[in-house]
């Protein structure tokens, strides 16, 4: 199986030994504690689950700035986005302290991790602006949900190793879908898959997405597909994870051969960081055991902040050769061809005009679903559309 990033073995930071976990939970009751941001809690979950291997905790100021500018930590580890614990202030906390990090997303704010504080540093306004520009590359004058979330956490950086005690709300709210990198690696091994392609989604999958996965599997000669959906915080208007989960599971059940696709999810908040997030997505898919990763049009993008294929270009122009072992499957926009009576990559149909494809805007699709109308079968499977119609009708009834 493909090696994880940065080490020979996967080293998740979750404390699996139940006695040790209980001991740390009791210790946490006597520790100074802070309720962290949603992004910080999600970073803990990703480190606990092994997705952020080989990180052992939150980055220092120097590492974060180095990652933003050069895509590597000060020790030379390739990494595309800062992994931080940002707070408004560190009042009452000193270097050398052990502190409890409390979850902002679960009622009662349970402890998600225990941290050894090895550094307390403050980013300047110029530092924050530089990281925002390098990592998110926001278009001037346009709102960017990832930038807003990043800058709302504070500028004080607490760095140091962590021990993760639970997986926040992801394991309890999505017991059939949330899987750690350890669990996915184990299941890939149990299924006997050798070549595995991963597909990232924060949306339900329409026919074009489904066929893109089939194309990738066929062209790469893959044994299996891991559909890996984001289960964390999204921007307003995105479809909730339970609805996406139901729609995707129905699609796999009806339109994929047995033992060819896994439906799984991971606990992270969407960054909407376009190209940089595309690289992060590839990195943690390597950690979960995928050998290939699909990156298509506007991957991890938002609004008009990025070019359609910037998330592919970054691998050629900024990611040094050998930084990752996972391979990228580059995909163009896929759509149903009326001429060929099948879904194709638009770049592979040069004799087509725009009107030769079945193309519907997201706004148009939402309007149709909200009115109880299924999109054409060339755009969406009817069984998937039914689940989405039921969801949109609940919105209308509120």
ω into residue 54 within 30 of 0, thus cis?
yes
Whole-number CA gyration radius for the chain? 21
Q: How far is CA 238 from CA 74, 269, 276, in A?
A: 37, 13, 21
Task: Compute the distance between CA of residue 27 and CA of residue 100 in angstroms, rounded to an integer.
Answer: 9
Catalytic residue of the set 98, 191, 202, 249: 202
Cβ atoms of residues 295 and 331 within 8 Å? yes
Q: Please tell me which residue in 11, 109, 151, 203 is annotated as part of the active site.
A: 203
**C-alpha separations of 202 from 7, 196, 232, 242 in Å:** 29, 20, 9, 11
DSSP per-residue string spanning 98-159: EEEEEPTTSTT--EEEEEE--EEEE--HHHHHHHIIIII-PPTT---HHHHHHHTS-SEEEE
Q: How far is CA 248 from CA 79, 294, 305, 343, 380, in A?
A: 30, 17, 28, 18, 12
The reply to whether 186 belongs to the active site is no
For residue 79, the SS3 value is coil
366 catalytic, yes or no? no
**Whether the Cβ atoms of residue 387 and residue 247 lie closer than 8 Å to each other:** yes
Rounded Cα distance, 309 and 328, in Å: 13
Q: Please give the helix or strand (H or E) that residue 163 lies within, else none.
A: strand 156-164
- The residues carrying an active-site annotation are 202-203
């Amino acid at each position: 199986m493909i090696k994880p990033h940065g080490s020979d073995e996967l080293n998740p930071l979750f404390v699996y030994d139940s006695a040790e976990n209980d001991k740390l939970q009791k210790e946490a009751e006597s520790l100074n504690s802070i309720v962290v941001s949603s992004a910080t809690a999600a970073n803990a979950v990703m480190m606990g689950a092994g997705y952020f291997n080989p990180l052992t905790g939150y980055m220092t100021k120097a590492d974060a700035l180095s990652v933003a500018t050069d895509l590597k930590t000060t020790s030379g580890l390739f990494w595309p986005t800062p992994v931080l614990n940002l707070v408004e202030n560190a009042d009452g906390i000193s270097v050398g302290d052990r502190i409890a990090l409390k979850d902002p997303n679960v009622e009662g704010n349970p402890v998600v991790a225990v941290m050894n504080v090895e550094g307390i540093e403050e980013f300047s306004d110029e530092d924050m602006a530089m990281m925002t520009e390098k990592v998110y590359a926001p278009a001037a004058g346009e709102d960017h949900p990832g930038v807003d979330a990043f800058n709302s956490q504070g500028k004080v950086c607490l760095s140091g190793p962590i021990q993760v005690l639970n997986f926040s709300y992801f394991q309890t709210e999505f017991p059939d879908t949330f899987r750690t990198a350890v669990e996915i690696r184990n299941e890939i091994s149990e299924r006997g898959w050798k070549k595995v392609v991963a597909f990232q989604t924060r949306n339900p999958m329409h026919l074009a997405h489904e066929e893109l996965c089939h194309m990738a599997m066929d062209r790469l000669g893959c044994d299996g597909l891991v559909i890996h959906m984001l289960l964390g915080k999204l921007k307003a208007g995105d479809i909730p994870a339970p609805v996406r989960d139901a729609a995707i599971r129905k699609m796999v059940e009806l339109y994929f051969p047995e033992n060819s696709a896994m439906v799984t999810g991971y606990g992270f908040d969407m960054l909407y960081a376009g190209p940089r997030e595309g690289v992060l997505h590839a990195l943690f898919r390597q950690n979960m055991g995928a050998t290939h990763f699909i990156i298509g049009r506007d991957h991890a993008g938002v609004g008009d902040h990025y070019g359609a294929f910037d998330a592919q270009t970054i691998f050629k122009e900024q990611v040094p050769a050998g930084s990752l072992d996972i391979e990228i499957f580059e995909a163009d926009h896929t759509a149903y061809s009326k001429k060929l009576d099948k879904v194709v990559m638009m770049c592979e149909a040069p004799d087509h005009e725009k009107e030769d494809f079945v193309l519907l805007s997201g706004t148009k699709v939402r309007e149709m679903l909200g009115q109880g109308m299924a999109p054409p079968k060339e755009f969406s499977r009817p069984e998937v559309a039914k689940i989405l119609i039921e969801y949109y009708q609940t919105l209308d009834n509120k």
